[in-house]
Structure 1
Amino acid sequence: MSEYQYYEFQAIERPLTKDELEQVRGLSSRATISATHFVNEYHYGDFRGDERKLMEQLYDAHLYFANWGSRRLMLRLPTALLPARSAAPYCAEDALTRWTRKGHLLLDFSYQAEDGGEWDFETSFTLASFTTLRAELAAGDLRPLYLAWLSALTRWELEEDVDEDEYTSTLEPPVPAGLAHLTGPQQTLADFLHVDPHLLTAAARASGTAPSQAIDKDALIAWIRALPPHEKDSLLLDAALGTAPQPGPALLARHRTVSHGTAQPSAAARHRSAAELLDAAHEVRTEHTRQQEQARAQTRRAEQRARESHLDRLAENTQQAWQDIAHLIGKKQPGLYDTAVTLLKDLREVHDRAGTPEEFARRLHDLRERHRGKPSLMRRLTDAGLTAR
């Protein structure tokens, strides 16, 4: 059983300096490294670096996953865009941790498969699928954080030694708007963290509609013009010197808040308990199962009606069907043999419905005798149960 590990880092705010590149190159001789990216795959051995320190010092995003079920996504963004206190309510052991370092908030999303789980040799992710989450968080969209909390609850439900009172006393964090309609990166994060989709549906019942993320350029221009001159001068100076985070995300977040709000949660909303959410998820799952069974039953009925209609048409001219079978066999092609066998099986059912199975048996016997020198056809007939009765 071969091990597989994937490591990827990305610098977004600024590229690495020459000295920093040399530092990173010292960690791996096989990685693909540039001033903004680090990518490496391990089929044996381990990464020699410290992911936490690299994120604190150099990079803004990190992705890791292994085929034994370990998954990790780390994001770094300025505390001016997302204060640590905003992320605190969503932190949960083994799902989301957060800390600050030198004016940045670091978020560590993680998932660890239970011991004994099946190894995953097919799943593949790249960091590009997740980096937009950083901009969403910077704009005040806290849905990624709530998804991490749901991931923790999904795993918590599977534990066997949890007191029922804990489920009742544990309350959910503030529910952000838009849970019913996640962005693409948010849905990828939910899949990455194995969030129970039924639990997500239940949680979304208390989530309002997310405001549009479309930018009204004219409104943005008017808003920027109204900013105090000294503030605009300060923003431009910081951008030119690179002494502060890129101002774009913060400005857009402020503009969205003023114009049509963000996906941030409502402080007035009631916080549901973990027990309530899990019970609601069970109801969603039960209803989903019922709908699936109903849909399958409808499909079976439709298929049966189509089958009956086909047999009715075939029964109207069985002689033509026998002629078609003879024509197909006469071509001496394996694919057409299969078509002939299918038609014979249909004819058998037609004769059974009409109460004339003896006639079918007689004609099948004659057909087998006539073509007994065709071993490929004989084998197909036998495999299909088309033998003398």
Structure 2
Amino acid sequence: MSEYQYYEFQALDKPLTALEQTYISSFSSRVQLTSRSAIFTYSFGDFRGEPKELLDKCFDIMLYMANWGTRQLVFRLPKSLVNSSIFQPYCLPEQITVATTSNSVILDINIDDEEYRDWIEGEGWLTKLAQIRDDILQGDLRALYLAWLKASSILIDEESEDCLEPPVPAKLKNLPAHLKTFIEFFDIDQDLVAGAAELNTSQKSEIEPLEEWIYALSAKEKDKFLLKVVEGDPNVRLQLLNRLRELFKSPENASSVNIHRRTFSELVEISQQQSQRRHEQELLVAQQIKKCKLEALALKEESVWLEVYRLIEIKQAKQYEKAVGYLVDLRDVAEYQDKLDEFKACIQKIQKDYSSRSGLLSRLKKAGLFKL
């Protein structure tokens, strides 16, 4: 398998300037560049420079994939909009980290997993994941909690001291499409997510009385935000939301709940129980589907037998395959109806009547119909 690296950057808050585009082009003559994005793909060689520096200077979000087992999602967040301390409970060395620059907070989710060592394609992922940055800026940390689940499943072994989960964000059970894509991108265990959400009681969306809050805002502050709108400040909406919540939102309406902080081993145990319940449910559904199929097939059993003999008479390998497929279904019907002896007799007759058809007999044997 040849080497593959994929870098994609997106500018969400504002388009790239001509000067920025010239700077970005200096890293590679083959960069796929637009006023909002840049893509670098490598089969050999590497990115010239430091990707996170380019992110901090020109972009708001970066995705990186390498087929030796790395998947990375990095966000540049304005210092004026976030308090980086809220990310610390979710951080794990080298996997989920936070750094600051002169104007920004850099939130880096960087997962190395042997399961990622396969053929990959980076195109199309970042557009589906971009909404997560806006979520984080609004205080929705579900993506960070999901990343912590994935990183913990890789970092923590049986001999290490078991760690407690970070604050559990609300609404883990009903995830939007972009967070489901996040789970798919980082290949997070679905049962682990479902288990973690089991005791997550804050599932209802809180309706914020924004109109009421805005009416209560002072005229001076309203004028301040209106000026930002006129000046084209890309973050004015989030600045206003943050200010309204700061002034009027009560502490008990916090976006996370953590009545009982579970250890990761407890979460694994819950996920195993979740997995068992899911498998049992899937088995019941499969059994019901099979029952309906057999009952439907039993109603036309006679015509199916006629079709089997018609296909055999054609004397072609492809038709033998179809005939054997029907016979396998007829065996299941016979077993369901407690008529297996009658079916065995029919198979024995086929063996006798078509003993010279080696192609047919070999397929019957391979399908297990000779062992009845």
TM-score (normalizing by structure 1): 0.77
Whether the aligned pair in 2 keeps the contact of 1:6 and 1:64 (CA below 8 Å) is yes
1:136 paired residue number: 135
| Closer, same or farther: CA 182–196 of 1 in aligned 2, 3 Å | same
Alignment of 1:319-334 (within 5 A): 324-329=307-312
Whether the aligned pair in 2 keeps the contact of 1:77 and 1:105 (CA below 8 Å) is yes
Q: Which runs of 5+ in 2 are unaligned?
A: none
Letter in 1 for 2:99: W
2:166 paired residue number: 173
| Closer, same or farther: CA 226–281 of 1 in aligned 2, 3 Å | same
For 1:49-74, what per-residue CA distance to the aligned partner results, in whole angstroms no more than 9, with x for missing partners?
A: 21121122221111101111111111
1:248 paired residue number: 237
Distance in 1 (CA, whole Å) between partners of 2:306 and 2:195 is 59
Superposition deviation, residue 104 in structure 1? 2.3
Superposition deviation, residue 110 in structure 1? 1.0
Percent identity for Structure 1 against Structure 2: 32
Alignment of 1:181-220 (within 5 A): 181-212=174-205, 220=210
What is the DSSP-based 3-state SS (H/G/I as helix, E as strand, rest coil) of the residue aligned with 1:236?
helix
Superposition deviation, residue 121 in structure 1? 0.4
**Residue 26 in structure 1 maps to residue 26 in structure 2:** yes
Distance in 2 (CA, whole Å) between partners of 1:212 and 1:355 is 58
1:69 paired residue number: 69
What is the DSSP-based 3-state SS (H/G/I as helix, E as strand, rest coil) of the residue aligned with 1:384?
helix
Equivalent of residue 354 in structure 1, options 329, 338, 342 = 342
Superposition deviation, residue 39 in structure 1? 0.8
For 1:288-319, what per-residue CA distance to the aligned partner results, in whole angstroms no more than 9, with x for missing partners?
A: 225414643673586378658856974xx6xx
Letter in 1 for 2:133: R
For 1:177-216, what per-residue CA distance to the aligned partner results, in whole angstroms no more than 9, with x for missing partners?
A: 112222222232233334333333333234332453778x
2:118 paired residue number: 120
Distance in 2 (CA, whole Å) between partners of 1:34 and 1:223 is 39
| Closer, same or farther: CA 250–206 of 1 in aligned 2, 3 Å | farther
What is the DSSP-based 3-state SS (H/G/I as helix, E as strand, rest coil) of the residue aligned with 2:174?
coil
Letter in 2 for 1:264: S
For 1:12-48, what per-residue CA distance to the aligned partner results, in whole angstroms no more than 9, with x for missing partners?
A: 2222222221111100111111222111211111011
| Closer, same or farther: CA 27–280 of 1 in aligned 2, 3 Å | closer
Distance in 1 (CA, whole Å) between partners of 2:305 and 2:151 is 64
Superposition deviation, residue 129 in structure 1? 1.6
Distance in 2 (CA, whole Å) between partners of 1:364 and 1:333 is 17
Whether the aligned pair in 2 keeps the contact of 1:239 and 1:246 (CA below 8 Å) is no
Which range moves more in the overlay, 344-353 or 42-51?
A: 344-353
Which range moves more in the overlay, 345-354 or 103-112?
A: 345-354
Distance in 2 (CA, whole Å) between partners of 1:131 and 1:192 is 13
Alignment of 1:210-359 (within 5 A): 210-212=203-205, 220-221=210-211, 223-241=213-231, 245-254=234-243, 258=248, 264-266=255-257, 269-270=258-259, 272-274=261-263, 277-289=264-276, 291-293=278-280, 295-296=282-283, 299-300=286-287, 303=290, 307=294, 314=301, 324-329=307-312, 335-342=318-325, 353-354=341-342, 357=345
| Closer, same or farther: CA 262–144 of 1 in aligned 2, 3 Å | farther
Which range moves more in the overlay, 249-258 or 300-309?
A: 300-309
Distance in 2 (CA, whole Å) between partners of 1:384 and 1:131 is 54
Whether the aligned pair in 2 keeps the contact of 1:87 and 1:98 (CA below 8 Å) is yes
| Closer, same or farther: CA 341–178 of 1 in aligned 2, 3 Å | closer
2:40 paired residue number: 40
Whether the aligned pair in 1 keeps the contact of 2:81 and 2:137 (CA below 8 Å) is yes
| Closer, same or farther: CA 262–192 of 1 in aligned 2, 3 Å | farther
What is the DSSP-based 3-state SS (H/G/I as helix, E as strand, rest coil) of the residue aligned with 1:64?
strand
Superposition deviation, residue 130 in structure 1? 1.5
Whether the aligned pair in 2 keeps the contact of 1:95 and 1:152 (CA below 8 Å) is yes
**Residue 151 in structure 1 maps to residue 150 in structure 2:** yes
How much is the aligned-residue C-alpha RMSD, in angstroms? 3.7
What is the DSSP-based 3-state SS (H/G/I as helix, E as strand, rest coil) of the residue aligned with 1:102?
coil
Letter in 2 for 1:104: S
For 1:342-386, what per-residue CA distance to the aligned partner results, in whole angstroms no more than 9, with x for missing partners?
A: 5566788969613983x76456534x37xx6xxxx6523432238
Whether the aligned pair in 2 keeps the contact of 1:95 and 1:151 (CA below 8 Å) is no
Matched residues, number? 360
Superposition deviation, residue 98 in structure 1? 1.1
What is the DSSP-based 3-state SS (H/G/I as helix, E as strand, rest coil) of the residue aligned with 2:168?
coil
Distance in 1 (CA, whole Å) between partners of 2:154 and 2:70 is 14
Superposition deviation, residue 76 in structure 1? 1.4
| Closer, same or farther: CA 262–28 of 1 in aligned 2, 3 Å | farther
